[in-house]
Structure 1
């Protein structure tokens, strides 16, 4: 069975590239930039080569090339021109496009090649903030619009997870702790989206703090045991799909009642489910962060 997605509707191209379908049609008719194919039942579609070309055309257009000029460039020379510009200017956009192609084609070699190229110019932290986070945000939208399958999302997430783990292990191998403060990271019941929490774990360790990563689907009552081992604890959790909005405030209140009875125990939370909550409703020792970067800045302030 061939799992590679090799046929795209014009709506797929719009979602994948950010270029409006109307604009794609104009580029196609006026400049012959794309050549749609047809199924046996006469339905128009675009192949993987068309998608890749559109990404490159969009990249050149965003870097100052007029569409009329791009249309005069031989098709086989366009990728080389994109690579030349990417080495001088907007490497992030080029890398995100390469990772999208890797995902759509289940191409691990392209992922590793793109990552290694980035790693020569950027720190892992910059790669995660400037490339992986925007990429994952786009992938979430692509999944919601049925442009990609869950298999695509899991493929790219798994490869990013590998890179987080490798970088985390490098930090742990030479770490010394700067204080008695301990961070305990976990996800609530039925929450399985741990990539963001894994990177927070990486950042906590990088800033010299002890971190205990518990992972997915941990009941609140299971956290009580940690208080027998550590006195100065900050619990950290990431709410992507759980708790549901109607249960969110009750969850935080229960956490406060069971865990946050002492002043040296706090709870830091982030994730899109918090968009449903007014910060004024938060218990005293619960603090919400809008982004991973905001939480990281707090670590830097306390460093």
Structure 2
């Protein structure tokens, strides 16, 4: 069972805010911006309120406000100043900070309020590319450094999926398919990172492409059923952790032999596992980004 993280080390604050640990220590000593507690080993630890404060200070610092000026403000004044700048410039970095706070506090209301504020000046696609994708990249880093636990990622990912599915529903209602081609979206067995392929679903619908979404953990043999229903199938998958690097060639070769050979069908692959991979099978294409793939369609 994973414990909810409510106590943070100075390295956690560095990872989350981008402000170096030695700078945070200097600010503590010179400006008394924090009064961290210490554990039995005399090591500093910080609270969720400290995390909220350092994220806000980092935001102001990025906009040119010096710590000497910030330190003279009350916590209420710091928050008000950050909100004014956010209102004036609708900055994506501040939204990312708020989403991170939402994640650590399990605060769905803050997530929705921040998202609705973004919608006042940006459309959904821009929000996803400018805010959600950088946020998810940061979450991946924070997980690797053990700054957060899987339950934090699950919480924020579920909220992002809600927004995606709401947009997909509207796109499906407005769809006007431009050809007889179909795009079949799936994740292989063992692959559970679904947000990337859900975004592909939305973007293909926006391009008036017919989409069949099959979701995660799809056995390869089940895909043979799909080809009997459509004349031309473009399979699309997103390899984040599966297949593992040493099994990638085998998976793609098997996919080609069982589904693609002597047919007009194709497989388009995205994700971290194929970023440095080149397919020599003409009917299989690998891409480093969703935008790169969409430019070929």
Question: TM-score if structure 1 supplies the norm length?
Answer: 0.93
Q: Could you list the runs of 5+ residues in structure 1 that have no partner in the other structure?
A: none
Look up the match of 1:292. 290
Measure how far apart 1:150 and its partner are.
0.8
Alignment of 1:106-185 (within 5 A): 106-185=106-185
Shift of residue 128, structure 1, vs aligned partner: 0.9
- Aligned equivalents of 1:283, 1:147: Cα separation in 2: 41
Distance in 2 (alpha carbons) for counterparts of 1:220 and 1:114 = 40
Q: Deviations over 1:233-268 (max 9, x none)?
A: 110000011001001011111111122224521111
Q: Where do 4+ consecutive residues of structure 1 move more than 4 Å?
A: none
**C-alpha displacement of 1:64:** 1.0
**CA positional deviation for 1:219:** 1.8
SS of equivalent to 2:275: helix
Quick check: 203-212 or 3-12, which moved more?
3-12
User: What is the RMSD of the two structures over their aligned residues, measured on CA atoms?
Assistant: 1.8
Larger mean Cα displacement after TM superposition, 185-194 or 40-49: 40-49
Contact 2:275 2:287 in 1 (8 A): no
Aligned equivalent of 1:17: 17
Indicate the SS of the match to 2:188: coil
For structure 2, the 5+ residue unaligned runs are none
Superposed displacement of residue 29, structure 1: 1.3
* Rounded Cα–Cα distance in structure 2 between residues aligned with 1:213 and 1:91: 33
Aligned to 2:82: 82
Q: Is the 8 A contact 1:252 1:282 kept in 2?
A: no
Range with bigger deviation, 257-266 or 143-152? 257-266
Q: Secondary structure at the match of 1:186?
A: strand
Find the aligned partners of 2:166 and 2:222 in 1 and give their Cα distance. Answer: 28
Structure 1 residue 40 displacement after superposition? 5.5
Which residue number in structure 1 is paired with residue 104 of structure 2? 104
Q: Scaled by the length of structure 2, what TM-score is found?
A: 0.95
Q: Secondary structure at the match of 2:28?
A: helix
Q: Is the 8 A contact 2:237 2:269 kept in 1?
A: yes
